[in-house]
């Protein structure tokens, strides 16, 4: 019986497994191999030279690599934090009884379905100092000091504008995950707390928050993973500038490969991104209990 | 009782703020797409165009480049989504129904493939397709889009399949169905809403994919996000035409998304809301 089961099982899984192995593992191994070579597409005369760990040493010694990693984490932490705060408040609000919440949910879901490239363009337009509405809103509110420089040309505000665009796009995702969690909460603890006379704030901190912990963690890990790879909005809004103050790890890897054509060094940088993805994927699997084998 | 009213009022305020925050950029782009060039450049910016004009849409649609790009996007999205469903649905079923030792390793590989940043894959994809002389064809971009949608389809459909009780299939098999017949006649109809949501999300992944499209497509195979990028990177952006282009790019996906909204929400939270 169990033999037959295994046979069936392989049949179903094999095609997609082969597909994934083929188009995932081969490129990854290829990247790993290239990372030990010096290879510039613009200089075919130099050829492809094996350099051992030189790319890795260069990456680790270069302060720019660390700046990029720091910037990536800055972006991830601030945007995920904001998305969590906004998403949670919105999920709690949508979980109260009032009519028409389905329509609201449809509307708040829209940014999530918009191509990141279009999100980038939209926000580039919105924050444009001359023709966009946001700077003028800020001026009308008396916040002229912010708009003295174009928002995307100022190193201190540029990154924050990209974060705003990201928050706009992905808060709906966090809201939906947390809303699903809220709707699945058991009612008994609340009834008991009601009888004991617990206040709404107490109920939130002692019942909702602990029970919702895994939903929150899942939303945070998925958003962390997806924001680690941020590229499209940055490419459209600032192109990594001003200077290189909005260059994240993904952007750096892209620039090395397709603007300076350093295949080997770019691969080394990209492997850092891959390494981060492995860590967070493992955390995610732990959280949804995929390691417990049920 | 009073406290309940306060909570409701606070909730309502938060929802209204969220709606304004969500709609502000959208309405701005919608209005801009109907503005004549002169009105784009008024300082301070005006929200509502004085003369509604279809000029921007006319310019966009009369551009042959656009028609081809739109067709390319449809082709790439459809092919990679079909590929994702053909490969993903059986695998998801297999993973949901059978328990074996290496299921975790498998799940990890599938999830990791989904979570790997595109930039990691784009360089080897570019070099390998160059080496295989496939640059400028549809093959690299379709496969690249499937790279994200196949693992996603497996991951999502697995959740839908596990919700169908196995006893239903067993009953059908006692009645003389083979496992495959039970799957086709009993299980698949039940997960149909899940399949529709999965295909929408897979389509969304491919339709919106930018980095792979930027690197792997040539002039002939370019997709909509790449075209949008080309407009934006021009020195003098025609914000009106650009806004029209942006809206045309997003409208199909928003419509599809809203159509299967309930299942979409379920799909997004399957396995993550536990």
Listed in sequence order, the DSSP H helices in B41-175 are: 55-62, 64-97, 103-115, 118-131, 138-162, 166-174
What is the distance, to the nearest Å, from the Cα of residue A102 to the centroid of all Cα atoms in its chain? 26
The radius of gyration of chain A's CA atoms, rounded to the nearest angstrom, is 24
CA atoms within 13 A on the CB side of A261: 7
Minimum Cα–Cα distance from B100: chain A residue: A6
- A288, B271: Cβ pair inside 8 Å? yes
| A215/B273 CB distance under 8 A | yes
What ipTM, to 2 d.p.?
0.91
**What pLDDT does residue B273 have?**
38
Cα–Cα dist B48/B36, whole Å = 11
Q: What is residue B79's predicted lDDT score, i.e. its pLDDT? A: 97
For residue B39, the model assigns a pLDDT of 82
pLDDT at A84: 97
What are the phi and psi torsion angles at A49 (to 5°)?
Answer: -110, 135
Name the residue with tokens 């929400």.
B265
pTM value is 0.91
* Residues within 8 A of B (CB atoms), A 158-177 only: 168, 172-173, 176-177
Start-to-end CA distance of chain A, whole Å, equals 21
- With a pLDDT cut of 90, the percent of chain B lying above it is 47
Average pLDDT of chain A?
A: 89
Chain A residue with Cα closest to B17: A90
- Helix ranges restricted to H, A146-262: 155-183, 188-195, 200-203, 209-211, 213-228, 232-237, 249-258
Residue B81 has pLDDT above 80, yes or no: yes
CB < 8 Å to A172, chain B: 22
What whole-number percentage of chain B has pLDDT above 70?
A: 96
Q: How far is B220 from chain A (nearest CA, A)?
A: 20
* Range scoring the smallest mean pLDDT among A59-68, A138-147, B152-161: A138-147
Residue A122: which of B29, B90, B215 has the nearest Cβ?
Answer: B29
Quick one: average pLDDT of B43-62? 85
Each residue's pLDDT tens digit, A264-291: 999 999 999 999 999 999 988 888 776 5
Write out chain B residues lying below 8 Å of A11, CB-based: 90, 94
Contact yes or no for A109 and B264 at CB 8 A? yes
Residue of B nearest to A275 (CA): B116
pLDDT in tens, A171-221: 999 999 999 889 888 888 888 888 888 888 888 889 899 999 988 998 999
Whether residue B54 has pLDDT greater than 80: yes
Which site among A11, A20, A92, A251 would you substitute to test the B interface, given the most B Cβ atoms closer than 10 Å to its Cβ?
Answer: A20
pLDDT reading at A293 higher than 60: no
Alpha-carbon distance of A39 to A53, in angstroms, equals 14
pLDDT band, very low/low/confident/very high, at B272 (cuts 50, 70, 90): very low
A294 touches chain B (CB under 8 A): yes
Q: Is the pLDDT of residue B75 over 70?
A: yes
Burial class (CB in 10 A: 0-12, 13-18, 19+), A55: buried
Q: Residue B257: what pLDDT?
A: 85
A122/B258 CB distance under 8 A:
no
Q: Which of residues 5-44 of A touch B (CB under 8 A)?
A: 5-6, 8-13, 15-17, 19-21, 23-24, 26-28, 30-31, 34
**B residues 65..124 contacting A (CB < 8 A):** 87-88, 90-91, 93-95, 97-100, 103-104, 106-113, 115-124
**Measured between alpha carbons, how far is B209 from A253 in angstroms, rounded to an integer?**
18
Among A88-92, A287-291, B49-53, B79-83, the range scoring the smallest mean pLDDT is A287-291
Residue A7: pLDDT band with limits 50, 70, 90: low
State how far the alpha carbon of B241 is from the alpha carbons of A131, B36, B39, B42, B59, in Å. Answer: 15, 10, 13, 16, 7
Over residues A22-35, the mean pLDDT reads 94
- Least trusted range by pLDDT, from A220-229, A257-266, B3-12: B3-12
Measured between beta carbons, which residues in chain B are less than 8 angstroms from residue A235?
210-211, 229
Q: Could B123 and A257 be called an inter-chain contact, meaning their C-beta atoms sit closer than 8 Å? A: yes
In the predicted structure, residue B274 carries a pLDDT above the cut 70: no
In three-state form (DSSP H/G/I as H, E/B as E, the rest C), the secondary structure along A51-90 is: CCCHHHHHHHHCHHHHHHHHHHHHHHHHHHHHHHHHHHHH
What is the C-alpha radius of gyration for chain B, rounded to an integer number of angstroms? 23
Beta bridge partners of A50: A37
The DSSP call for residue A40 is B
Instruction: Assess whether pLDDT exceeds 70 at residue B23.
Output: yes
Three-class secondary structure of residue B224 per DSSP: helix
Task: Identify the residue among A27, A193, A272 best suited for mutation to test binding to B, counting B beta carbons within 10 A and taking the highest.
Answer: A27
Of B25, B229, B265, nearest to A117 by CB-CB distance is B229
If we measure between CA atoms, which residue out of B245, B255, B258, B262 comes closest to residue B32? B245
Position B188 pLDDT exceeds 50: yes
**Mean per-residue pLDDT, B166-179:** 83
A48: contact with B, CB 8 A cutoff: no
Position A24 confidence tier, pLDDT thresholds 50, 70, 90: very high
Summarize pLDDT for B149-168 with one digit per residue, the tens. Answer: 999 999 889 888 888 888 88
Q: Which tokens is A235 given?
A: 């490419």
Hey, what are B135's tokens?
């640059």
B31/B169 Cα distance (integer angstroms): 53
Least reliable range by pLDDT among A15-24, A55-64, A167-176 = A15-24
| pLDDT reported for residue A2 | 44
Q: Residue A38 forms beta bridges with which residues?
A: A49
Instruction: Evaluate whether B253 touches B207 at the Cβ level (below 8 Å).
Output: yes
**Beta carbons of A214 and A102 less than 8 angstroms apart:** no
Task: Using a CB–CB cutoff of 8 Å, tell me whether A94 touches chain B.
Answer: yes
By CB neighbour count within 10 A (0-12 exposed, 13-18 middle, 19+ buried), where does B96 fall?
buried
What is the per-residue DSSP string for B21-72? HHHHHHHHHHHHTTS-HHHHT-SSPPSS-SS---HHHHHHHH-HHHHHHHHH
């Amino acid at each position: 019986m169990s033999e037959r089961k295994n046979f069936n099982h392989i049949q179903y899984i094999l095609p997609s497994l082969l597909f994934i192995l083929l188009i995932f593992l081969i490129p990854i191994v290829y990247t790993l191999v290239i990372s030990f070579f010096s290879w510039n597409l613009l200089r075919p005369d130099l050829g492809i030279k094996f350099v051992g760990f030189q790319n890795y040493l260069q990456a680790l010694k270069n302060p720019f690599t660390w700046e990029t990693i720091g910037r990536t984490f800055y972006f991830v932490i601030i945007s995920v934090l904001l998305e969590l705060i906004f998403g949670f408040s919105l999920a709690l609000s949508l979980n109260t009884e009032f009519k028409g919440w389905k329509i609201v949910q449809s509307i708040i879901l829209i940014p999530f379905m918009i191509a990141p490239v279009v999100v980038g363009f939209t926000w580039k337009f919105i924050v444009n100092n001359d023709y966009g509405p946001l700077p003028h809103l800020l001026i009308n509110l008396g916040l002229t000091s912010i708009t003295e420089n174009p928002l995307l040309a100022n190193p201190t505000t540029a990154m924050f504008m990209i974060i705003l665009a990201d928050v706009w796009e992905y808060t709906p995702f966090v809201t939906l995950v947390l809303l699903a969690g809220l709707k699945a909460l058991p009612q008994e603890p609340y009834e008991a707390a009601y009888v004991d006379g617990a206040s709404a704030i107490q109920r939130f901190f002692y019942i909702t928050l602990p029970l919702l912990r895994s939903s929150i963690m899942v939303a945070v890990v998925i958003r962390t993973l997806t924001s680690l790879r941020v590229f499209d909005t940055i490419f459209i809004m600032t192109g990594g500038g001003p200077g290189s103050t909005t260059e994240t790890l993904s952007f750096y890897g892209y620039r090395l490969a397709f603007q300076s054509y350093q295949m080997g060094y770019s691969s080394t940088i990209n492997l850092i991104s891959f390494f981060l993805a492995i860590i967070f994927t493992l955390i995610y699997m732990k959280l949804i209990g995929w390691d417990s084998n049920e | 009782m009073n406290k309940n009213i306060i909570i409701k009022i606070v909730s309502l305020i938060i929802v209204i703020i969220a709606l304004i925050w969500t709609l502000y950029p959208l309405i701005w782009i919608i209005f801009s797409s109907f503005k004549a060039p002169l009105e784009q450049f008024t300082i301070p910016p005006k929200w509502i165009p004085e003369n509604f004009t279809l000029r921007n849409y006319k310019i966009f649609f009369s551009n042959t480049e656009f028609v081809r790009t739109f067709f390319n996007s449809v082709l790439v999205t459809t092919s990679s989504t079909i590929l994702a469903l053909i490969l993903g649905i059986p695998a998801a079923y297999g993973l949901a129904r059978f328990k074996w030792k290496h299921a975790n390793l498998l799940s990890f590989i599938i999830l990791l493939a989904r979570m790997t940043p595109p930039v990691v894959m784009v360089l080897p994809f570019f070099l390998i397709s160059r080496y295989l002389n496939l640059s400028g064809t549809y093959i690299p971009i379709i496969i690249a889009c499937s790279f994200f949608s196949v693992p996603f389809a497996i991951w999502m459909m697995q959740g839908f399949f596990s919700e169908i009780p196995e006893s239903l299939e067993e009953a059908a098999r006692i009645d003389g169905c083979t496992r495959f017949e039970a799957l086709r006649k009993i299980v698949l109809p039940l997960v149909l809403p899940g399949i529709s949501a999965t295909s929408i999300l897979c389509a969304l992944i491919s339709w919106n994919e930018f980095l792979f499209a930027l690197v792997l497509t040539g002039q002939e195979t370019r997709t909509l996000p790449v075209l949008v990028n080309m407009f934006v990177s021009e020195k003098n952006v025609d914000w009106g035409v650009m806004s029209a282009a942006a809206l045309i790019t997003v409208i199909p996906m928003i419509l599809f998304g809203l159509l299967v909204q309930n299942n979409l929400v379920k799909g997004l939270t399957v396995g993550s809301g536990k």
